[in-house]
């Protein structure tokens, strides 16, 4: 196969098709959407191809047939009919400024009116929006396609200023209600963004909106599948380890079964030919990290959370379930589903190495507040494990906790139990991208943490001495026979017992034995 240009940062369907860029055909999903409904909503994390998908819809409804030659939908679309398209996007602007969202929308509507030769006679944004839809329908003789991108950005950008966020939300609620009221003039509508706000808070007036976020039929509507990489991007794969690509970037799922890659990561990998946290580094998760610490969510718990579809939709200015926040922003994904008495539960976990490693680095940076010291500790940890230097490891564990500011202990209840200490160690190990299993179950019990690295297996147990006698951690490692589960690997196994004191806020015992 011939190598093509990589569409890095390109959201224009016409440009991709006319200038010989790689393109993954998503029109099979468009064909299904058109056959099953009219008004749709889709939530996906940032940089997943939502804007490109909307632009593809635009070109389709405008009847630009040459762009679709060879694609799935080409032979099933009536190219003689051209529908007017009304595109709105809230991707740019300072939405922390009061009243900006309305001014932004008025500018977009004015531009659309100029292109169509329509004169507005309404003072309100909702009235102007409704009037424009009706005018476009009347002018073209065919109903309108309404496409709204980044519908939620005016709210998300202002979350740290709740009053403005609420005002933006209330304004947008009235705007989106127009879509329902204008149903007679609309052929198709598609609204997309990062978050999935509670229906009553933002879409209360749009009760005919079909949410396909968790619909397994559309789980690959955005993102690249395994077959996409093998077929479309086959010329880019030589020289890259396929298992490493999966480990770093695969794993996003909205069904618990089919998994996809983030396109942004894959394209930058093919361009640079090296692995990196490309997606993670494009957005600063400060609000997310601050929220996790404020709610005292243990990093260990992030890789095994459970939520119902209702809980994953509980997202609003005044109410953001932790599970919904992490899932909708792409830091957790669906790893499995379970039917519990007729209610579908979703098991959540990190999608891949990039997110697991990078998020834990951010959590550590927030905790230690000294990125230089945190990085030095991480590098030291890796070198000590390479050398199996357990004396050095004990010293380093002391340094882990000595680097945490005193006020963090005094202001956080999480420091009152051993899960906190385990979380700090876990984040250091995970930030290095090591192979880690937490609370690994066996017939004898649940081990706190197992680490596989450099041909060795390390089994760690944590105890707080105020709650258990000194030596209890090693005694449990032996009594529960945790090592038995790992003997089949024929790798050296080390039992590491780590004991802390709540009073001294540091290590009081560190034992290592070869199992």
Which DSSP string corresponds to 10-50?
---HHHHHHTTB-----HHHHHHHHHH-SEEEEE--TTSSH
Region of poorest pLDDT, from 107-111, 168-172, 419-423, 494-498: 419-423
Task: Give the separation between CA 227 and CA 217, rounded to whole angstroms.
Answer: 17
pLDDT for 478 beyond 60: yes
Strand partners, 188: 145
Q: How do residues 221-244 score in pLDDT, each as one tens digit?
A: 999 999 999 999 999 999 999 999
- Tokens matching residue 104: 């932004």
CA 385 distance to own-chain centroid: 31
Confidence of residue 415 (pLDDT cuts 50, 70, 90): very low
* Residue 284: per-residue pLDDT: 64
pLDDT for 90 beyond 80: yes
* Residue 372: per-residue pLDDT: 84
pLDDT for 445 beyond 90: no
Establish how many alpha carbons lie within 13 A of residue 319's alpha carbon, considering only the half-sphere containing its beta carbon: 11
Strand partners, 511: 497
pLDDT for 208 beyond 80: no
pTM: 0.91
* Residue 144: per-residue pLDDT: 98
Stronger pLDDT, 403 or 47, i.e. the higher one: 47
- Note whether 24 and 227 are within 8 A (CB): no
pLDDT for 96 beyond 80: yes
Mean pLDDT, the chain, integer: 91
- Segment 116-121 shows an average pLDDT of 90
- Tokens matching residue 157: 């950008």
pLDDT for 414 beyond 60: no
Cα distances (angstroms) measured from residue 272 to each of 231, 277, 424: 20, 12, 33
Task: Give the separation between CA 230 and CA 495, rounded to whole angstroms.
Answer: 42
Q: How do residues 325-343 score in pLDDT, each as one tens digit?
A: 899 999 999 999 998 888 8
* Residue 514: per-residue pLDDT: 95
Q: How do residues 190-203 score in pLDDT, each as one tens digit?
A: 999 998 887 667 77
Domains of the chain: residue spans and CATH: 25-218 (3.40.50), 359-514 (3.40.1350)
- Note whether 118 and 139 are within 8 A (CB): yes
pLDDT for 1 beyond 60: yes
Region of poorest pLDDT, from 75-89, 269-283, 417-431: 417-431
Residue 66 neighbours by CB under 8 Å, 6+ apart = none
Give just the sign of the alpha carbon dihedral 35, 90, 124, 198.
Answer: positive
Confidence of residue 442 (pLDDT cuts 50, 70, 90): low
- Segment 398-407 shows an average pLDDT of 76
204-238 residues labelled b (16+ CB within 10 A) or e (exposed) = eebeebebbbbbeebbbbbbbbeebbeebbeebee
Give just the sign of the alpha carbon dihedral 254, 258, 263, 269.
Answer: positive
* Residue 41: per-residue pLDDT: 95
């Amino acid at each position: 196969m011939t190598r093509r240009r990589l569409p890095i940062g390109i959201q224009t369907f016409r440009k991709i098709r006319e200038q010989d860029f790689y393109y993954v055909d998503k029109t099979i999903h468009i064909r299904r959407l058109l056959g099953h409904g009219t008004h749709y909503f889709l939530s996906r994390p940032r940089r997943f191809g939502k804007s490109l998908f909307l632009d593809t819809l635009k070109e389709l409804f405008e009847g630009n047939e040459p762009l679709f030659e060879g694609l799935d939908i080409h032979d099933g679309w009536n190219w003689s009919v051209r529908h007017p398209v009304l595109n709105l996007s809230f991707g740019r602007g300072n939405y922390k400024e009061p009243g900006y969202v309305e001014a932004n929308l008025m500018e977009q509507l004015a531009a659309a009116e100029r292109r169509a030769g329509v004169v507005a006679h309404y003072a309100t944004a909702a009235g102007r929006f409704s009037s424009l839809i009706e005018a476009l329908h009347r002018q073209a003789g065919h109903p309108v396609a309404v496409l709204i991108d980044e519908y939620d950005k005016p709210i998300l950008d202002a979350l740290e200023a709740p009053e403005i966020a609420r005002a933006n939300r209330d304004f947008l609620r009235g705007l989106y209600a127009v879509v329902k009221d204008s149903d007679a003039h609309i052929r198709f509508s598609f609204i997309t963004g990062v978050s999935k706000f509670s229906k009553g808070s933002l879409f209360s007036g749009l009760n005919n909106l079909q949410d396909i976020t968790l619909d397994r039929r559309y789980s690959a509507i955005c993102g690249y599948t395994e077959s996409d990489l093998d077929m479309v991007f086959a010329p880019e794969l030589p020289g890259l380890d396929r298992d490493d690509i999966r480990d770093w970037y695969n794993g996003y799922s909205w069904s618990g079964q089919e998994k996809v890659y983030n396109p942004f990561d894959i394209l930058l990998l093919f361009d640079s030919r090296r692995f990196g946290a490309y997606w993670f580094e494009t957005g600063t998760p400060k609000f997310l990290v601050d929220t996790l610490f404020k709610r005292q969510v243990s990093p260990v718990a992030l890789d095994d959370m459970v939520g119902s579809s209702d809980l994953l939709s509980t997202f609003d200015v005044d109410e953001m379930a932790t599970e919904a926040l992490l899932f909708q922003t792409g830091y957790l994904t669906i790893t499995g589903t379970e039917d519990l008495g007729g209610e579908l539960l979703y098991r959540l976990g990190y999608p891949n190495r990039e997110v697991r490693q990078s998020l834990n680095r951010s959590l550590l940076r927030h905790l230690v507040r000294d990125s230089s010291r945190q990085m030095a500790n991480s590098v030291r940890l890796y070198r000590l494990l390479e050398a199996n230097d357990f004396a050095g490891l004990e010293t380093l564990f002391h340094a882990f906790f000595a680097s945490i500011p005193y006020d963090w202990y005094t202001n956080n209840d999480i420091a009152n139990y051993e899960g906190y200490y385990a979380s700090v160690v876990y984040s250091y190990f995970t930030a290095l991208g090591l192979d880690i299993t937490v609370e690994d179950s066996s017939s004898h019990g649940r081990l706190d943490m197992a680490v596989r690295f450099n041909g060795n297996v390390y089994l760690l147990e944590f105890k707080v001495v105020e709650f258990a006698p000194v030596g209890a951690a090693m005694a449990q490692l032996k009594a529960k026979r945790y090592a038995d589960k790992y003997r089949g690997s024929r790798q050296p196994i080390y039992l590491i017992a780590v004991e802390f004191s709540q009073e001294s806020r540091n290590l009081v015992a560190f034992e290592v034995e070869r199992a």
